[in-house]
Amino acid sequence: GRAVSIPSLAKDGVLAPWHMAHYCDVVGIDLGTTRSSVAVWDGTQVHVIANESGDNTTPSWVCYLDNSTRRVGKAAERAAGKYIESTVYHSKRLIGRPYAESLQQERAALHWPFQVVEDERGEAAIGLAVKGEPLVVSPEEVAAAVLSYLKAMAEDYIGRPVTKAVVTVPAYFSDSQRQATRDAGAIA
């Protein structure tokens, strides 16, 4: 990540390694429907961590190139042109929700390239076509991919493992949606 820090503690805009010890091991993550961000506290101020493109927010997109390879964030957004049937975005709208026919209307209104399907628990899931083969992923798995990406950004920035995170959820989220977000964090 790019350092945006206290000028007196930085040399040429890069934090000195000794300063990394002052960072908290807890990060704050805004897991957004369209874009997400991660920040860390250094004891005096919050640093929003920039992604590899230098942006403070990262698209909440995941693109499955095959059953074992995926791209997250800006890379997923760029890959969508070639892999649209295996690209997921806005999946937070489905997290922790039971499957219902009304989700098909929502899918049509939002022009999602993926299918909304019912999983074995009766929950909403995401149906993709990856290299012509069907793949079903849960919204929690997609959120976990975004959270893992943001966690890796934070670990790279502070120079050590992130052990805890505070993840935002909308006030209107139901208990099942809050739990599904916790599950995504555990997967990440």
Length of the chain: 188
pLDDT tens profile 87-117? 999 999 999 999 999 999 999 999 999 999 9
Which residues lie below 8 Å from residue 169, measured CB to CB, with a gap of 6+? 31, 177, 178, 181
Task: Please give the pLDDT value at position 135.
Answer: 95
Distance, in Å, from the CA atom of 34 to the CA atom of 36, rounded to the nearest integer, reads 7
Do 129 and 86 touch, CB atoms closer than 8 A? yes
Which residues lie below 8 Å from residue 175, measured CB to CB, with a gap of 6+? none
For the chain, give the percent of residues with pLDDT over 90: 78
Higher-confidence residue: 123 or 1?
123
Which strand (E) or helix (H) includes residue 136? Answer: strand 133-137
- The predicted model gives 154-180 an average pLDDT of 93
Task: Please give the pLDDT value at position 22.
Answer: 63
Going by pLDDT thresholds of 50, 70 and 90, the confidence category of residue 5 is very low
Closest residue by Cα to residue 30 from 92, 79, 87 = 92
| Residue 72, Ramachandran bin (φ over 0: left; ψ between -120 and 50: alpha; else beta) | beta
Closest residue by Cα to residue 1 from 49, 56, 72 = 49
Tokens of 129: 């076509």
Tokens of 173: 């989220």
Distance, in Å, from the CA atom of 121 to the CA atom of 58, rounded to the nearest integer, reads 31
- One-letter amino acid for residue 91 of the chain: S
Which residues lie below 8 Å from residue 159, measured CB to CB, with a gap of 6+? 17, 20, 23
Going by pLDDT thresholds of 50, 70 and 90, the confidence category of residue 68 is confident
